[in-house]
Amino acid sequence: MRTAVGQFTASPDWKDNLLACQDLTAQAERGGADLLVLPEGVLARFTEDRHRIREVAQPLDGPFVSALRETTEGGHTTVVVGIHEPSGDGRVFNTLVALRDGRLVARYRKIHLYDAFGDQESANVRPADEAPVVVDVAGTQVGLMTCYDVRFPELARLLVDAGAEVLALPAAWVRGPAKERHWEVMLAARALENTCWVAASGECGPRNIGNSMIVDPLGTVRARLSHSPGLAWSETDPETTLAARRTLPVLANRRFAVSPRLLAPGELP
């Protein structure tokens, strides 16, 4: 499977961000990508005024997703990108959509909210109660995760148990002390502990680190971007996955299963 990760600096205007997504989608399609992973929450730039994500949220049949669906029509590439959509309780869902050939083929609403490092995503975003979402892309099973989800290995393991060979991870990873190191370490850890590929896209710009990358099942970075807009590419082939799982059979050797029971926020002490 030919995979691309793309990043750009989001604008306050969703129409500008749509154009950026359409441009990267067109580049990915011309390059023969089966999968394109774009950043999280691209309807508007993430700013200190986080309440604004309520104002810019759009439903899945709204103008942003509808226009991007039209962009993919007649094409081969599956595009995974994050938006915010109204949740019905005054807050929004942080939602990933997977689009292919004019259709919405999958949707994942973020489970783990970024209530950390002095931020409180849950003030404006409603945590979802979602089963793991895996979508078939060119015969490869792709699991969907969003940003802060990467800090929770249970979700990655549940996705792999559901058949995922690649984890697609849109993000808007905020700058901060050691944050870029956290990003790199956890992408490699999720790949290594599950012997799977990780295709992670991060918004770039003054607030977020960019640093999109594709990591192979033995934790090697196969492609990466720095802090500028663009695309990075890699072949995320099943032969490499199978070879890694023969060499490092951690999935076969494990002694504990991850329970799919979803805890309520704050349920554990």
pTM given for the model: 0.97
What's the whole-number mean pLDDT along residues 210-227? 98
Does residue 15 have an active-site annotation? no
The CA distance from 170 to 37, in Å, is 6
Of the listed 21, 29, 121, 147, which one is catalytic?
Answer: 147
Per residue in 30-83, pLDDT tens? 999 999 999 999 998 766 667 788 999 999 999 999 999 999 999 999 999 999
Look at residue 257 in the predicted model and tell me its pLDDT. 94
Please, is 236 exposed, middle or buried when counting C-beta atoms within 10 Å of its C-beta (0-12, 13-18, 19+)? Answer: buried
* 39 token code pair: 């950043």
The CA distance from 176 to 65, in Å, is 31
Spatial contact of 20 and 6, defined as CB atoms under 8 Å apart: no
Per residue in 85-135, pLDDT tens? 999 999 999 999 999 999 999 999 999 999 999 999 999 999 999 889 999
Tell me the CATH class for 2-244.
Answer: alpha beta
Of the listed 29, 40, 85, 121, which one is catalytic?
Answer: 40
Of the listed 21, 29, 85, 110, which one is catalytic?
Answer: 110
Look at residue 49 in the predicted model and tell me its pLDDT. 67
Spatial contact of 233 and 33, defined as CB atoms under 8 Å apart: yes
Does residue 147 have an active-site annotation? yes
Does residue 179 have an active-site annotation? no
**Could you tell me which of 170, 239, 235 has the C-alpha nearest to residue 208?**
170
Q: What is the mean pLDDT of the chain?
A: 95
Q: Is the pLDDT of residue 240 over 80?
A: yes
Strand pairing class (35-37; 78-86): parallel
